[in-house]
Amino acid sequence: MNSIAEHIADFLKKYPPFDNLTFQELSEIATSIRVINLEKHKVLFQINDVLHDSFYVVASGVINLSVIADAEETLLNKCYEGDIFGLRPFFAKNNYMMTAKAREESIIYAIPIAVFRPFVANNSEVLDFLLHSFATNTSNPSDKENLRGKLISDNVYFSNQQSEMQYFQSLTYNIAPITATASSIVQEAAQLMTNSLSTSVLVCENNLPIGIVTNTDMCSKIATGRFPITTTLDKIMSSPVVTVIENVSLAEAQLLMLKYNVTHLCVTQDGTDKSAVKGVISEHDLIVAQASNPGVLIKEIKRSQTPKDLKGIRERLTELIQKSISKNIPLSHVNNLASEINLAIIKRSVELSILDLGSPPARYAWLSIGSQGRKEQLLTTDQDSMLIFEDVTAEKYRDVKDYFLKLGKRTTAILEKVGYGYCTYGHMASNMLWCKSLTDWTNQYNSWMNTPGENSNQLSSIFFDFEIVIGENKIEEVIENVVFNNIKNNTLLFDFLGNEALRKNSPLTFFKKFNVEEKGPNKDKFDIKTRALMPLIDGARLFSLSYNLRGVNNTYLRFKQLAITDPRNSEIYLNCAKAFLTLSKFRTMEGLKNDNSGQYINMQELSKANKEILKNALAPMDELEDLIKNKFQLTQFS
């Protein structure tokens, strides 16, 4: 054995998962490892590159792993000596989803997957390290103190929080697989496979799977002449079959195919080969499933050319939300996911309008306000937006305002076609009241905040929840500064906002029955938005403003942040955060069921258990109400 290979084996032995292999095994692997010298800033692979046949270990130097999201490069991780990266080819067939670039001059070991795979298959510790790390996308799972030797999954889409989506994402697979008996003739099975464009046939006995014959078996055993075409399936089938439970996730299916080195999994009722067959998952199904992951949707949005394209993606998002909720993924993750995709759709709609109108005559910022501004828009609700353009000279003002009004009208029309209804109150950038210069907006905020109650109530609260979609961040910062400067010692404003937060009718009657609608099209239904969610949203905003919490707009995160800022009342805030997620989930389920905004809950359709859960989620609101009354002097507007 040569001294270089020996040196590499010595090096690898120090780091997981290689420390689970014998020196003999490592030496065997080391002879086929390539050593790569990367100069500073040199890229090893980038997003959308075709997968390499190796994965990599850092021998020295630092490698940055990053993704491009919204035209910005986001650093996901740094890999130091002993760290593994570039594992994607182990798990997936589609291209790289991140970029690996040398931060300084580095030496990398490229380990061929074909050489390493047998060692993975035979060594459960190595396999577990890879699987666990891949699935959880964490550092080395065995070291809680975050020692070196972490393994980074390349399965990240557009932000760290979403990386575990893949672990939960469910699969669509063939639920009517071809089955045959052990004594069936190969020729007949091949004919069946061809007719139904299937890549496998399951061999069953009493509807229990005992083996599988795939395209690969046909090629390697029949086409090569090893067995005649008249042979029976039991002679060429792979047995036993690798079985999985019905709602297996994408990542779990990938891992099992890797573990057993197979291309098909048999889905059965209880996940074992002792229960009835429910379907077959092929490698192709995994590739299709990856195409509906969030990162892919975002890429498609960026390439969309028409409202129709965007509408199709918005419908797929609804499916993704439905599947995620049915698999009990935490609602905060689902919220992140949906808001990123909604944001990308709105941004693309503005870009398509600019392509039609020509480039803007001044710098501007398009802000989402209301639920999308708070990243809480799971269902298609109406649009709320505002447009701010920089101050221009008096003679240019008219033309510039004209351009941005046209931009507002065109964009809101596109969004309406995509499925976001127009705002009934006209809070949209297409309305000349919500499309103004920076100075006009500054004056508007000053007036709202210093003489509250003289403008329509609608305005005061919704305009504190904003998020930039496209344009100049500096403009958004100016507005944020105006808000926080006007808050200081503004007891009148807090008096107004406090009363606003308490104005919604109580969700429960004196006798602890749900306060349902008494008349109109939603008679006997419970208005979960107005009576339950809005008081929490208003309360979280009120306290966040009073504690000067900048940059946190989301209600759930506001409550979490308040628990840290005001520890004496942390229990109340944490209960409210939990309640907010529970109530949001009820609303989302109702909306998905009826294809609407889910505002009104049909109490007749709720089970007794769900009514209890809903009632319990309303409990923290009393405590929040008391907290508001104690903290703010509510006199003027009560």
Q: Which residue has the higher pLDDT, 14 or 93?
A: 14
Give DSSP secondary structure letters for 418-429.
HT-PPPTT--ST
pTM of this structure: 0.61
Q: Sign of the C-alpha dihedral, residues 481, 485, 488, 490?
A: negative
Contact 127, 211 (CB under 8 A): no
Gap between the Cα atoms of 523 and 604, Å rounded: 12
Give residue-wise pLDDT tens across range 460-486: 577 899 999 999 999 999 999 999 999
Gap between the Cα atoms of 597 and 604, Å rounded: 18
CB atoms within 10 A of CB 114: 9
- For residue 162, the model assigns a pLDDT of 38
CA nearest to 494, candidates 548, 551, 427, 562: 548
Q: Is residue 352 classed as helix, strand or coil in its secondary structure?
A: helix
All residues at 6 or more sequence positions from 401 whose CB lies less than 8 Å from its CB, including other chains: 389, 432, 435, 436, 437
CA nearest to 635, candidates 470, 502, 477: 502
Gap between the Cα atoms of 83 and 444, Å rounded: 54
Q: Which of 112-121, 393-402, 551-560 has the lowest mean pLDDT?
A: 112-121
Q: State residue 462 phi and psi, 5-degree precision.
A: -60, -30
CA nearest to 540, candidates 527, 553, 531: 553
CA nearest to 212, candidates 254, 171, 169, 257: 257
Give residue-wise pLDDT tens across range 573-603: 999 999 999 999 999 988 888 888 889 998 8
Give residue-wise pLDDT tens across range 304-321: 999 999 999 988 888 888
What six digits make up the tokens of 149? 């030797």
Q: Is residue 456 classed as helix, strand or coil in its secondary structure?
A: coil
Residue 121: pLDDT band with limits 50, 70, 90: low
Give DSSP secondary structure letters for 557-576.
HHHHHHHHHSGGGHHHHHHH
CA nearest to 629, candidates 534, 490, 514, 535: 535
Residue 181: pLDDT band with limits 50, 70, 90: very high
Reduced to 3 DSSP states, what percent helix, strand and coil does the chain have, rounded to the nearest 5?
50, 15, 35
Query: Where is 581: in which H helix or E strand?
Result: helix 570-594
Tracing tokens 């918005």 back to the chain, one arrives at 314
Query: Where is 208: in which H helix or E strand?
Result: strand 208-214
Taking 90 as the threshold, does the pLDDT of residue 346 lie above it?
A: yes
- For residue 83, the model assigns a pLDDT of 87
Give residue-wise pLDDT tens across range 556-571: 989 988 988 898 999 9
Taking 50 as the threshold, does the pLDDT of residue 154 lie above it?
A: no
Using alpha carbons, list the distances in angstroms from residue 247 to 168, 328, 396, 470: 10, 12, 60, 38
What six digits make up the tokens of 341? 């995709």
Gap between the Cα atoms of 424 and 413, Å rounded: 14
Q: How many CA atoms lie within 13 A of 194 on its CB side?
A: 7
Gap between the Cα atoms of 557 and 538, Å rounded: 14
The 8-class DSSP code of residue 49 comes to P
CA nearest to 590, candidates 524, 527, 515, 518: 527
Q: Is residue 38 classed as helix, strand or coil in its secondary structure?
A: strand
Residue 153: pLDDT band with limits 50, 70, 90: very low
Q: Sign of the C-alpha dihedral, residues 289, 295, 299, 301?
A: positive
What six digits make up the tokens of 590? 């109702």
Tell whether omega for the bond before 17 is within 30 degrees of 0, i.e. cis: yes
Residue 327: pLDDT band with limits 50, 70, 90: low
Residues in the chain, overall count? 638
Taking 90 as the threshold, does the pLDDT of residue 123 lie above it?
A: no
Contact 234, 204 (CB under 8 A): no
